[in-house]
Amino acid sequence: MNYKSEKLLNGEMYGWMLKCAACELKIHIKDVNDLNVFPVPDGDTGDNMWRTINGGVKALGACKTEGLPDAVITSSKGMLLEARGNSGVILSQFFKGITDVLSGSDSADAKKLIVALKSGVKHSYAAVLNPTEGTILTVARESADYAEENVSDDAPLSELFSQLMIGMRNSLMHTPELLPVLKQAGVIDSGGAGLYYIAAGFSRALNEDVEKTKVHYGIQANMIDSEPEYRTHADNVNVDLFTADDVMSYGYCTELLVRLQNTKTDIASFDDDAMRKFLAEAGDSVVYFRSDSLLKLHVHTLHPERVMDHVHNFGEFLKVKIENMTLEHTDNDSPAGLIELASDNPVLSPEFEKGIADKKFFGSVAVCAGEGFSKIFRAMGCDELVAGGQSLNPSAQDFLNAFEKVNAEHIIVFPNNKNIVLSARQAAELYSNAKVHVIETSNLGQGYVGLSAIYPDDNDIDGIIAAVNEAVASSCSGAVSTAVKSGNFDGIHVNEGDFIGFVGKKIISSEREVVSAAMLLADHLLGSSENRSVITCFAGKDTADYENEMLEKAIQKKYPDTEVFMTSGGQDVYSYIFVAE
């Protein structure tokens, strides 16, 4: 069976196309990652786009959908929540635009699909504050225009997506001419490449035999849910982390996906506020939303069975996930998501915490990587930390989980990575229990400066945000990392394996020794202004103590009037992160 001659898209076909698109992109994740322009190991575009579209596939798989409108709405919500990185957010908004057009009809022909694609383009551009041509935006726009010009209104859908692929390929090959940084690096745009592979999956879904395609992608072998091969990790429970003598302190992370049933409740008048109130009484870290008869919730509770019993009164479970959080606290290998840190205070039960935790005026959330930075941010008063950084971008859902834990009227968010800003913004738009303010910090150093500008007793939120933005803008930060490719960048020749110092995307130094590269970066930061009298150096987890001492002494000797603070950040990727103020 194949859909080659089909002229009308329905819900079943749409779900099949998404599944094939996710599989095709998954095969090429590393190819997309390797198109990274900058010679630092931060290429994660392929991962982010796959996890985003796979969020849509998993949302469809978790519940029974009826018809095209249900399929596009359900999958779009899944992508919005799982969107990671700038490319993932742009992709989720692309499908949000498609959904806006297709959600009103039971079927769609080629003409309507082109309108939907153009709506997707419009949403994608709107998601970016300053759209740049030569990126995924250009590839989406030019390919939709190409398809409109070359496909008749009554053409088979297979022809539409074949032409869309041609348009994407042509646009993708042209991206280096539009974006000089791509031409300099000798690559095409990575986000555009990811979109091309998604279109290739769509085309294969429509043009080829369904059963043969299943075999090709290995769909029967759970191609969708498994981790990419180069990122595969063991997901087995370490039972030794919770013994017969341990006491349950942290409770259970409980996630339920439920289909409300007409035989159990009046769906049209279902009381969402009552359900939220019940969950708040049952535990904490509550995240709850409902779309018609589909209900999704997340709660940390000591009694998951009570939550399940209550929810079961209204519907049937589509997906249940319950995890012992004591294992997560004990295990040091934290994935992207909410960081839970032990403190010097006694562990309080969720019931006791709720009794004393009134909603405060403002709180803060910061994306963080490294044990040192985690301790520093906590000591500076940051309420919640979200694990993430280069090649480990948190999803919008991860931010929503953190927002719920803050329990404040205003939440200040520090993404601390340019590739995480859009995910934070998307989560802010989805969250309704507080006013969320996203500070566009592009690295951990800026996050450190921003947090230090917050005065805990201040009750003028506009003044707080202005002070934070001013502090971040007036500081100067840079980093040292290891080059993953050779080439000429900003007039500096870089050899793979060199230590490179850079500010933003501008390379300042490239040296065989880490201290030499770091010292040249320090010269750039301190020599650019006489007003910078303090420099803070956050050492990465792989730098040696003797290297830290050498660097600190070298800066002090050359800049005797500058205060030098050397501390452990414990971060991956970056040997040093500098902040000059």
Where a domain ends, among 192, 227, 262? Answer: 227
Q: What is the DSSP letter of 358?
A: P
36 and 103 co-located in one domain: yes
Domain assignment of residue 240, yes or no: no
Please state whether beta strands 563-568 and 534-539 pair in parallel, antiparallel, or not at all (unpaired): parallel
What pLDDT is recorded for position 384?
A: 93
Domain assignment of residue 455, yes or no: yes
Where a domain ends, among 474, 497, 525? Answer: 474
Q: How far apart are CA 383 and CA 409, in angstroms?
A: 13
What pLDDT is recorded for position 127?
A: 86
424 and 292 co-located in one domain: no
| Residue at 556: amino acid letter | Q
Q: How far apart are CA 399 and CA 404, in angstroms?
A: 9
* CATH code of the domain covering residue 537: 3.30.1180
Domain assignment of residue 274, yes or no: yes
What pLDDT is recorded for position 238?
A: 57
325 and 469 co-located in one domain: no
**Tens digits of per-residue pLDDT, 518-547?**
999 999 998 865 577 889 999 998 899 999
**CB-CB contact of 440 with 415 (8 Å):** yes
Picking from 401, 477, 412, the residue whose alpha carbon sits closest to that of residue 442 is: 477
What pLDDT is recorded for position 244?
A: 75
* CATH code of the domain covering residue 276: 3.30.70
37 and 167 co-located in one domain: yes
Element (H, E) at 576: strand 574-580
490 and 532 co-located in one domain: yes
What pLDDT is recorded for position 240?
A: 63
485 and 441 co-located in one domain: no
470 and 480 co-located in one domain: no
121 and 167 co-located in one domain: yes
Domain assignment of residue 211, yes or no: yes
Domain assignment of residue 6, yes or no: no
97 and 220 co-located in one domain: yes
What pLDDT is recorded for position 241?
A: 62
Where a domain ends, among 474, 491, 525? Answer: 474
Q: How far apart are CA 298 and CA 401, in angstroms?
A: 8
Rg of the chain taking only CA atoms, in angstroms:
25
Block means of pLDDT (10 residues each) for the chain, 581 residues, are 93 95 92 79 81 93 87 93 88 95 94 97 88 94 96 95 94 92 86 94 93 80 53 50 70 84 93 89 74 76 92 90 66 44 34 48 91 86 85 85 90 93 92 93 91 85 93 90 87 91 90 95 80 86 92 92 89 90 82
60 and 193 co-located in one domain: yes
**CB-CB contact of 312 with 259 (8 Å):** no
Does this model's pTM top 0.75? no
Domain assignment of residue 345, yes or no: no
Distances in Å between the alpha carbon of 81 and those of 64, 342, 355, 430?
19, 28, 30, 9
- Which domain does 298 fall in, by range? 251-330
* CATH code of the domain covering residue 181: 1.25.40.340
Domain assignment of residue 41, yes or no: yes
The three-state secondary structure class of 173 is helix
* CATH code of the domain covering residue 404: 3.40.50.510
216 and 124 co-located in one domain: yes
46 and 78 co-located in one domain: yes
Phi, psi of 371 (to 5 degrees): -65, -40
Domain assignment of residue 344, yes or no: no
Q: What is the DSSP letter of 477?
A: E
- Give me the number of domains the chain comprises: 4
